[in-house]
Chains A and B, each alone.
Chain A
Amino acid sequence: MQVGNGKSIVNGIAIGKIKIYKEPERIIYEGIVDDPAAEVARFEAAVEKAIDQQTVLYEKAIVDAGKDIAEVFMVHAAMLEDDDLQDSTKEIITGQKRSAEYATKVGFDNYAQMFADMDDPYMKARAADIIDIQGMVLDNLMGLDSASMQGTEPAILVADDFAPSQTVKLDKSLLLGMICIEGSSNSHTAILARSMNIPALMQCKEVQDDWDGKLAVIDGKNAVVYIEPDKDLLDTLKKRQDEDRKKEALLQELKGKPSETIDGYNVHVYANIGGPADVGAVNQNDAEGVGLFRSEFVYLNSKEEPGEEEQFTAYKRVLESLAPKLVIIRTCDIGADKTIEYMHLDKEENPALGYRAVRICLTRKPFFKTQLRALLRASAYGNLGIMFPMIISVAEVRECKEILEECRQELLKEGYKIADNIQIGIMVETPAAVFCADELAEEVDFFSLGTNDLTQYTCALDRQNAKLEPFSDTHHPAVLRAIKMTIEAGHRHGTWVGICGELGADTTLTEEFIKYGVDELSVNPKSVLPLRKAIRSIDRSKLLAK
Chain B
Amino acid sequence: MQKKTLRKLGASAVAGALVLSGIVASAPAQAAAKTIGIAYSLGGRDVPGFNQLAYIGVKPILDKNKSLKLIESQDNPTATDDQRAERLRLMAKRGANPIVVVGFTYASALGKVAKEFPNIQWGIVDDSSVQAPNVQGIVFKEEEGSYLVGLAAAMTTKTGRIGFIGGVNTPLIAKFEAGYIAGAKAINPNIKVQSTYISNFPDFSGFNDPAKGYEAAKGMYQNGADVVYAAAGGTGTGMHKAASELKKWSIGVDADEAMYPAHAAYKTTILTSMLKRVDLGVRGFVNDALAGKKTAGIKTWGYKQGGVGYTTTGGYLKGITDVINNYGSQISSGKVVVPTDPKKA
Report if A and B associate in a common complex.
no
B positions within 8 Å CB-CB of A: none
